[in-house]
A and B are shown apart, each in its own frame.
Chain A
Amino acid sequence: MERRKLEKKNPELKKKRQAENVPMTIDNTRAYDPSMVTVPSGLHPKSTILAEFSARSKSTVPIKESSTVGSSEPSGSKVTQDPNPAPPPAVPAEFMDPEHAADIANDPFAAYFDPDSERDPSEPPKVLITTSPYATAPTWAFCDELVGVFPGAQFFKRKKKSFRSNAPPLGTIAGWAVKRGYSSLIVVNEDHHKPNALTMIHLPAGPTAYFKLTSVELTREIYGHARASPHYPELVLNNFVTRLGHAVGRMFQTLFPPMPEFEGRQVVTLHNQRDFLFFRRHRYMFKSTERTALQEIGPRFTLKLRSLKTGLPSNNPLGAPMKPLEMAKEDEEPEQQYPHIVEEVAKSEDNGEAGNSGGEDEEAEEESARVEKEETKRDEKKGARKGEEFAWAWNPRMDFKKRNFYL
């Protein structure tokens, strides 16, 4: 009570007190990650991140905090000499992760961000939206909403297994989409008649991101929602800090046309908080120089990154045709050619007459098949199919430390 009275008289005291007693939250005491590219905003004064940087800094480089990765900024002839909002202050070069430079060099999204490319900035990138096989109405409803969100989007239902052919796998579909000029593929996965996961595939050869999808609310379920217009939206990407986070943020950017139509006053936000990506779409209006009014349009959902693969989904090499049979050469003795077979024959001879099936070649293939099976089993435990590599994969053991975040 007394303190309150004092502070009422002198607001400076309150500011001083608040500056001294900054509460520690999970977000502002986040664990340091060497793959951080931008410094997270709102850090606690005693945060380990700041401590790390200050410990390693040779010069007194002031580390400014950032909130956004980047935004769809006006580029092109429409606005000349436009001072874009300051790019998020990067971690000083001296302690930037050396792998980050490699990332920048091998950027899979270069085609989108390249200012000299021939593509028309006013044309939206084509996005193909589909579902997992045999999806149902709730998923289609969500997909229809997505079609409204992304300006260049088209929705197609997944092709079913027919008399002539199997249901085409994702890898095949990705191939078709590339041929038809799509730049991204979004697959909404369904489970128990609800959309539960989202796969974002950047097309020419780009990364595949698999997200868990939760808290889906369609437009009609939002009370007091605004009506969307076909204007290209602005993007706000909040709190993407690490290299992985940047990759995901930029992947999201490539789904939208690079040049937004500001007269539409629509914002699409992907806000990262503790590795949960909250997607929102609003219509905004500046009420004054300090306040904005936001009215929510469109679907609302949460994504959580489960894995990021560097390539396209594999096109099922398990079904590849077997290698042609190699006939034994007459010169060489069988023992030299197939030493492993000789072993096996010896073993089986101990147990009685085990007639070797026709041709030593089959046995060779059996052996190699068995070895391969072991390897694929090991990989499959990690979740990858043959031919796929994870750039990043989540597993439950990552959740034990509360302050470790990866985006």
Chain B
Amino acid sequence: MQSDDVIWEIVGKSHCSFRVKVPEKNQQFCRNAYNLTGICNKRDCPLANSRYATVREREGVIYLYTKTIERAHLPSKMWERVPLPNNYMKALEMIDSELLYWPDYMIHRCKQRITKITQYLIKMRRMKLSNAPKVVPIKKKLDRREARREAKALRAAHIEKAIEKELIERLKTKAYGDQPLNVNEDIWKQILDAEKGKEKLDAELEDEDELDEEHELEEEEEWDGREFVSDDSESEFGGLSDLEDMEPAQDDEEDKSNDDGSEEEGDTGSPRRKRPPKTSLGKRKAIDDAKRPRKRGARVEVEYEEEQELVDPQKESIPSW
């Protein structure tokens, strides 16, 4: 048998799962979805009132829920739900008709709820039209996880190395063209020479080599026989020493010996040539041999003295350039 008082004795005075207390203000609220006002007291408790009515909204439609004692023994069918018309005035009239002879307090509260719900629905519809920014919740756990992963990815990336590698690749594959504006002349020449050296290595025929050398000699002929000679005593007395070194050196194309030796081989070339063996054609020997990269194969290195002040790439004192 349903006894509201007994229920209230238990639920209201000892423990109710739906109750939320605010001790500072001595307030009690009810979290039951069917509560008419949301406050925990005997008049508003849906559990402790066998005859009860609420208004609730679902997906934009407002419903009137009623509970009577006749159905108290059928929990699944306890609440009777009626959709209220969209028209506000008509909805109020419907409340009056449905809750005829019910306590005035309940009718009044139901009507108040209809009013409030209608108002907030109108506001929601208007907000949707106004392109309000979408408010997305902050998920702390996800954010933390992503931050950690980002840090690890950064460490794994080695960005600067990758950029360096890519730039060097572009330089070597000549993506910057034949006369690039972003490279130092020395370095560009090194690359060109490296390529030429590679070409020479690939070429197996001696004829090809000779042709290359002939071209180089032709270039040097433009110098009108002028020479740049260093203090090095070896080169001064070029002649005999060159001829002596010539034959064995010619056979080994991959001779990795002295740069001096290789240069001279390049000059003099085959014994068929009638030109007097020159010492160093159009060359200026670098002071620091270690800096000059070691090369394989017969090759001519043409170095010019530059009048302009070169920006030394080794200098790190230049802050920006």
Interface residues of A (CB under 8 A from B): 25-27, 67-68, 71, 73-74, 78-79, 82-86, 132-133, 166-167, 169, 212, 214-215, 224, 226-227, 236, 238, 262-265, 267, 269, 271, 273-276, 278, 280, 282-295, 302, 304, 316, 318-319, 348, 351-355, 357, 366, 370, 373, 383, 396, 399
Per a CB cutoff under 8 Å, which of B142, B146, B154 touches A278? Answer: B154
B159 within 8 A of partner (CB): yes
A352 touches B174 (CB 8 A): no
B156 touches A294 (CB 8 A): no
Interface residues of B (CB under 8 A from A): 59-60, 82-83, 85-87, 90, 94, 97-98, 128-131, 133-134, 139, 142, 145-147, 149-150, 152-154, 156-157, 159-160, 162-178, 180-184, 187, 190-191, 194, 313-314, 319-321
Q: Report the bound CA distance from A285 to B166 in whole Å.
A: 13
Q: Report the bound CA distance from A292 to B59 in whole Å.
A: 63
Per a CB cutoff under 8 Å, which of B60, B85, B320 touches A227? Answer: B320
Q: Report the bound CA distance from A112 to B39 in whole Å.
A: 65
Q: Report the bound CA distance from A276 to B131 in whole Å.
A: 30
Determine the residue in chain B with the shortest Cβ distance to A352.
Answer: B97
A352 touches B176 (CB 8 A): no
Per a CB cutoff under 8 Å, which of B165, B175, B191 touches A73? Answer: B175
A273 touches B157 (CB 8 A): yes
Per a CB cutoff under 8 Å, which of A79, A226, A274, A352 touches B153? Answer: A274
Ranked 4 nearest A-B pairs via Cβ = A79-B177, A273-B157, A263-B181, A274-B153
B156 touches A274 (CB 8 A): yes
Q: Report the bound CA distance from A27 to B35 in whole Å.
A: 56
A276 touches B174 (CB 8 A): no
Determine the residue in chain B with the shortest Cβ distance to A171.
Answer: B131
Q: Report the bound CA distance from A67 to B150 in whole Å.
A: 20
Determine the residue in chain B with the shortest Cβ distance to A287.
Answer: B313
Residues on B with beta carbons closer than 8 Å to the beta carbon of A291: 164, 168
Determine the residue in chain B with the shortest Cβ distance to A86.
Answer: B173
27 contacts between A and B (CB under 8 A): A26-B156, A82-B174, A86-B173, A166-B131, A215-B150, A226-B320, A227-B320, A236-B163, A238-B166, A262-B176, A267-B167, A269-B162, A269-B163, A273-B154, A274-B152, A274-B153, A276-B149, A278-B159, A280-B159, A282-B160, A286-B167, A289-B168, A316-B129, A352-B82, A357-B87, A370-B59, A396-B142
Residues on B with beta carbons closer than 8 Å to the beta carbon of A214: 146-147, 150
B176 touches A74 (CB 8 A): yes
B131 touches A83 (CB 8 A): no
Q: Report the bound CA distance from A73 to B182 in whole Å.
A: 14
A82 touches B162 (CB 8 A): no
Determine the residue in chain A with the shortest Cβ distance to B64.
Answer: A351
Q: Report the bound CA distance from A68 to B86 in whole Å.
A: 60
B85 touches A290 (CB 8 A): no
A357 touches B86 (CB 8 A): yes
Residues on A with beta carbons closer than 8 Å to the beta carbon of B150: 214-215, 276, 302, 304
Determine the residue in chain A with the shortest Cβ distance to B151.
Answer: A215
B86 touches A238 (CB 8 A): no
Whole-angstrom distance from the CB of B269 to the nearest CB of chain A? 28
B182 touches A265 (CB 8 A): yes
Q: Report the bound CA distance from A224 to B319 in whole Å.
A: 8
Per a CB cutoff under 8 Å, which of B85, B159, B164, B194 touches A271? Answer: B159
B131 touches A68 (CB 8 A): no
Determine the residue in chain A with the shortest Cβ distance to B146.
Answer: A304
Instruction: Give the residue among A71, A269, A285, A383 with the most B Cβ atoms within 10 A.
Output: A285
Given A26-B156, A276-B150: A166 and B130 interface contact (C-beta under 8 Å): yes
Whole-angstrom distance from the CB of B289 to the nearest CB of chain A? 17
Per a CB cutoff under 8 Å, which of B147, B160, B175 touches A85? Answer: B175
B131 touches A82 (CB 8 A): no
Whole-angstrom distance from the CB of A380 to the nearest CB of chain B? 9
Given A262-B181, A357-B85: A132 and B163 interface contact (C-beta under 8 Å): no
Whole-angstrom distance from the CB of B211 to the nearest CB of chain A? 22
Whole-angstrom distance from the CB of A223 to the nearest CB of chain B? 12
B157 touches A318 (CB 8 A): no
Whole-angstrom distance from the CB of B186 to the nearest CB of chain A? 9
B133 touches A286 (CB 8 A): no
Q: Report the bound CA distance from A66 to B159 in whole Å.
A: 16
B162 touches A71 (CB 8 A): no
A353 touches B97 (CB 8 A): yes
Residues on A with beta carbons closer than 8 Å to the beta carbon of B154: 273, 276, 278, 302
Per a CB cutoff under 8 Å, which of A133, A265, A285, A352 touches B98? Answer: A352
B60 touches A289 (CB 8 A): no
B85 touches A273 (CB 8 A): no
Per a CB cutoff under 8 Å, which of B83, B159, B174, B180 touches A83? Answer: B174
Whole-angstrom distance from the CB of B133 to the nearest CB of chain A? 7
Q: Report the bound CA distance from A357 to B89 in whole Å.
A: 11
A287 touches B163 (CB 8 A): no
Determine the residue in chain B with the shortest Cβ distance to A351.
Answer: B82
Residues on B with beta carbons closer than 8 Å to the beta carbon of A373: 59-60
Per a CB cutoff under 8 Å, which of A287, A293, A318, A355 touches B90? Answer: A355
A85 touches B149 (CB 8 A): no
Q: Report the bound CA distance from A307 to B181 in whole Å.
A: 40
Q: Report the bound CA distance from A271 to B163 in whole Å.
A: 9
Residues on A with beta carbons closer than 8 Å to the beta carbon of B142: 396, 399
B156 touches A285 (CB 8 A): no
Determine the residue in chain A with the shortest Cβ distance to B177.
Answer: A79
Per a CB cutoff under 8 Å, which of A226, A262, A294, A354 touches B163? Answer: A294
Determine the residue in chain B with the shortest Cβ distance to A297.
Answer: B320
B181 touches A292 (CB 8 A): no
Q: Report the bound CA distance from A79 to B134 in whole Å.
A: 50
Given contacts A273-B156, A289-B191, 7 further A-B contacts (CB under 8 A): A169-B131, A262-B180, A276-B153, A287-B313, A302-B150, A357-B86, A373-B59
